[in-house]
Amino acid sequence: MLTRALPPGDVRIEARVRLDAPEDCCATHVQAGLVVLGDDDNYVKLAVLADAGLHQVEFAKEGQPEQPDWPRYGNTVAGTPGQPWTWLRLEIRRQGSGQQIAAWSSQDGRNWVGGAVWTHRLGPEPLKLGLVAMGGGARQAVFSHVTAARLSR
């Protein structure tokens, strides 16, 4: 994973991702995308995912549970990947000691599909942006047009 500190304030992150994964039914779970990190146990992830013929954009979060027996990890879908490229967008709005993070995806870079919004306390600043590619069976993950820009209120 490659990481870089994010600027303070509200931020929009965008990237174009191509994940070359086999189309067959037996492909191993692979993904490539964006991660916003507080640390290894507190993050949100927006990634193109391929698993046994399933292709989707996954938006997930991991963090310390607020109540005993609550899950540490949760995920949802934030659109359908494009062919061959998928555009990913995260909008981070800081709120007190936490963040509200919205996910978007696009098959063409112009028409965006809104995903969920996670509320999280990722940890102390500066938060980090990571580019990730993981799993087995992928031939290549390519990132281009990665930007992080401040959002106006």
Q: For 66-118, how does the pLDDT look when each residue is reduced to its tens digit (9 = 90+)? A: 788 888 888 999 999 999 999 999 999 998 888 999 999 999 999 999 999 99
Single-letter residue type at 128: K
- Please check whether residue 108 lies inside any domain of the structure: yes
Cβ atoms within 10 Å of 34's Cβ, excluding its own:
24
| CA atoms within 13 Å, Cβ hemisphere of 31 | 20
- The strand pairing partners of 148, in sequence order, are 13
pTM for the full model? 0.91
- Please check whether residue 69 lies inside any domain of the structure: no
Total domain count, the chain: 1
Strands 42-51 and 54-62: antiparallel
| DSSP SS3 for 1 | coil
Supply the pLDDT for residue 65: 75
Residue 25, pLDDT above cutoff 60: no
- Please check whether residue 127 lies inside any domain of the structure: yes
**N-to-C CA span, the chain:** 31
Band of the pLDDT at 37, cuts 50, 70, 90? Answer: very high
Q: What is the DSSP letter of 40?
A: T
- Please check whether residue 6 lies inside any domain of the structure: yes
Supply the pLDDT for residue 68: 85
Cβ atoms within 10 Å of 151's Cβ, excluding its own:
11
- Please check whether residue 87 lies inside any domain of the structure: yes
State both tokens at 110. 């112009």
- Encode pLDDT of 52-68 as tens digits: 788 899 999 999 877 88
- Please check whether residue 112 lies inside any domain of the structure: yes
- Please check whether residue 25 lies inside any domain of the structure: yes
- Please check whether residue 31 lies inside any domain of the structure: yes
Percent of the chain with pLDDT over 90: 59
State both tokens at 81. 């990947």
Given a contact cutoff of 8 angstroms between Cβ atoms, the answer to whether 13 and 143 are in contact is no
Single-letter residue type at 99: Q
Q: In which domain, by residue range, is 137 found?
A: 2-64+74-150
Domain of residue 16, CATH code: 2.60.120.200
Residue 27, pLDDT above cutoff 70: no
Residue 131, pLDDT above cutoff 60: yes
Band of the pLDDT at 26, cuts 50, 70, 90? Answer: low
